[in-house]
Chains A and B, each alone.
Chain A
Amino acid sequence: MNFNPKHILGIKDLSTAQIHFILDSAASFKEINSRQIKKVPTLRGKTIVNLFFEASTRTRTSFEIAGKRLSADTINISASSSSVVKGETLEDTAKNIEAMHPDIIVMRHSASGACDYLAQRLKCSIINAGDGTHEHPSQALLDAFTIRQHKGKIEGLTVTIAGDITHSRVVRSNIYCLNKLGAKVRVAGPRTMLPPGLEKLGCEVFTDLRAAIRDVDCIMMLRIQRERQGKTLIPSLREYARFYGLNPDNIKLAKPDVIVLHPGPMNRGVEISSLVADGPHNVILDQVENGVAVRMALLYLVSGGESVQNA
């Protein structure tokens, strides 16, 4: 198939075939990461700016490593060290960066839709590395890649996503992605963390974690985002851990070969107990490893055929 995207802004815009194509491409790039010389010349001469208005270690490092392994020049800009703190608008910051002719901007921003906004105004490619509570496409793709790696397929599986659903962009992207790939999605969390109308996205909603994980193939635990909310949504972390934490006891309700995913960073002892996080079902570090391959694929795909479009 011919898949030549200009931007990667969200999973919602992608077709099932396109998602499969990205995952297949990522499988080819994964091999490079286990070589002695972890570098191919594919994106030589391309400049990638990682523009991060929100703190991130994993995603930013993953994109940076992905770019470097493809021989692109990667530059990191974080909000704390940028002109944003001096009062510059998003559009002005982006236009100034664009004036230096980058090929790809990888952006994270606290406002939903910030990446779409820039994509309409800039000439270079934009890859969404998380915008507000909207989408986080590369995370959903690496989750799908990891599930496919362990289960051999995604179609027909049941996946439970549990935690703070309202504030999670990972959930939205994952619901789109898993639904398009033919999995059944369940979401679970306390009522205060479940936005209304969630069923319309195509998932079953649970307020009881034990019921939600019964006989499922995959469990994805989300982080309690302490920085995004006051203490009003849950009475205490201890109570949350008791009712919504995944532990060696309740995980037995799932299928014996269940896999446990977590986008990180983990709050051990809150949403996931250390015995599960380090236990035999966890694939959390596989997710991180696969993240680099998936991001290499995204950088490669948005770079293809650029000069044809400009010609």
Chain B
Amino acid sequence: MATESVEILDLDGVNRALTRIAHEIIEKNKGVEDLVVIGIRTGGAYLGEQIQQRINEIESVTVPFGSIDITMYRDDLASRGHLAVGQTDIRFNLDGKRVVLVDDVLFTGRTIRAAMDAVMDLGRPESIQLAILIDRGHRELPIRPDYIGRNLPTARNEQIKVDFDEQNIPRAIHLLKS
């Protein structure tokens, strides 16, 4: 079956969305005090880094950034078969922090559930907020993002693909229909 690919956001579109999300995070939190950014590996970690850099530029500060691997927290380990575990790299204390979780695509919400459990095991943040580049719907859990790059209603069998270049900088987003 041929796969049809539709571009949803180009390079400029992705950059504008990320910049807007960075501004929204600062606005909603009335600054960057106690703010930390945590990206969900792998796509969310690349995007989280982009958002962190933008916040740093806007506010002239350095907001802590970390990445989290949620393989160990998945609820479908047995049915998915083997999955390679990645590394969590968070070198700061999360107690009392306002955590902004970043992921590329929000779908069923199960990844975010796992990520929240993983964050809770690392400390007791004051709050957890969720930033998402593409919200494609089909939630299976009561999870709602705080910051959204683009709302995109999809069919279940469609796929969203976020392209990154060699430096892990997002290039474009495509919708794949099969």
| CB atoms of A40 and B72 under 8 A apart | yes
For chain B residues 70-98, which have a beta carbon within 8 Å of chain A?
71-73, 77-89
- B72 touches which of A36, A42, A307 (Cβ 8 Å): A42
For chain A residues 289-311, which have a beta carbon within 8 Å of chain B?
297, 300-301, 303-308
CB distance from A200 to the nearest CB of B (A): 34
Number of interface residues of A (CB under 8 A): 28
Which residues from A are CB-within-8-Å of B73? Answer: 40-42
- A305 touches which of B80, B85, B122, B123 (Cβ 8 Å): B80
Interface string of A1-19 (1 = CB under 8 A from B): 0111000000000000000
Which residues from A are CB-within-8-Å of B118? Answer: 40
Which residues from A are CB-within-8-Å of B86? Answer: 28
- A31 touches which of B77, B82, B87 (Cβ 8 Å): B87
| CB atoms of B78 and A308 under 8 A apart | yes
Interface string of B114-128 (1 = CB under 8 A from A): 000110011100000
How many residue pairs bridge A and B at CB < 8 Å?
A: 60
- A41 touches which of B82, B88, B117, B122 (Cβ 8 Å): B117
User: How many angstroms from the CA of A282 to the CA of B83 in the assembled complex?
Assistant: 35
| CB atoms of A300 and B88 under 8 A apart | no
User: How many angstroms from the CA of A275 to the CA of B87 in the assembled complex?
Assistant: 36
Which residues from B are CB-within-8-Å of A29? Answer: 85
For chain B residues 88-110, which have a beta carbon within 8 Å of chain A?
88-89
Closest to A21 in B: B84
| CB atoms of A4 and B82 under 8 A apart | yes
| CB atoms of B79 and A28 under 8 A apart | no
CB distance from A298 to the nearest CB of B (A): 12
For chain A residues 2-59, which have a beta carbon within 8 Å of chain B?
2-4, 21, 24-25, 27-29, 31-32, 35-37, 39-42
User: How many angstroms from the CA of A304 to the CA of B77 in the assembled complex?
Assistant: 6
Which residues from B are CB-within-8-Å of A36? Answer: 122-123
Given contacts A28-B87, A31-B87, contact A4 B117 (CB under 8 A): no
Which residues from A are CB-within-8-Å of B146? Answer: none
CB distance from A174 to the nearest CB of B (A): 25
Which residues from A are CB-within-8-Å of B24? Answer: none
Closest to B118 in A: A40
| CB atoms of B122 and A308 under 8 A apart | no
Q: Is B163 engaged at the interface, CB distance under 8 Å to the other chain?
A: no
Which residues from A are CB-within-8-Å of B81? Answer: 2, 4, 304-305, 308
User: How many angstroms from the CA of A305 to the CA of B121 in the assembled complex?
Assistant: 25
Q: Is B69 engaged at the interface, CB distance under 8 Å to the other chain?
A: yes
| CB atoms of A308 and B85 under 8 A apart | no
CB distance from B68 to the nearest CB of A (A): 11
CB distance from A144 to the nearest CB of B (A): 18
| CB atoms of A308 and B69 under 8 A apart | no
Taking each of B82, B87, B118, which has the highest tally of chain A beta carbons within 10 Å of its own beta carbon? B82
For chain A residues 37-86, which have a beta carbon within 8 Å of chain B?
37, 39-42, 70
User: How many angstroms from the CA of A21 to the CA of B86 in the assembled complex?
Assistant: 11
CB distance from A31 to the nearest CB of B (A): 6
User: How many angstroms from the CA of A35 to the CA of B119 in the assembled complex?
Assistant: 12
Which residues from A are CB-within-8-Å of B87? Answer: 27-28, 31
| CB atoms of A304 and B69 under 8 A apart | no
User: How many angstroms from the CA of A36 to the CA of B122 in the assembled complex?
Assistant: 7
Given contacts A28-B87, A42-B72, contact A37 B121 (CB under 8 A): yes
CB distance from A307 to the nearest CB of B (A): 4
A-B contact pairs, 11 of them (CB 8 A): A3-B82, A21-B84, A25-B84, A28-B69, A28-B87, A35-B121, A40-B72, A304-B77, A304-B82, A305-B81, A308-B79
* 4 closest cross-chain pairs (CB), A and B: A305-B81, A304-B82, A307-B78, A4-B82
* Contacts A42-B77, A306-B78, A307-B78 known; 10 new A-B pairs at CB < 8 A: A25-B85, A28-B69, A32-B72, A37-B121, A40-B121, A42-B73, A300-B85, A304-B82, A305-B80, A305-B82
Contact surface of A with B, Cβ cutoff 8 Å: 2-4, 21, 24-25, 27-29, 31-32, 35-37, 39-42, 70, 297, 300-301, 303-308
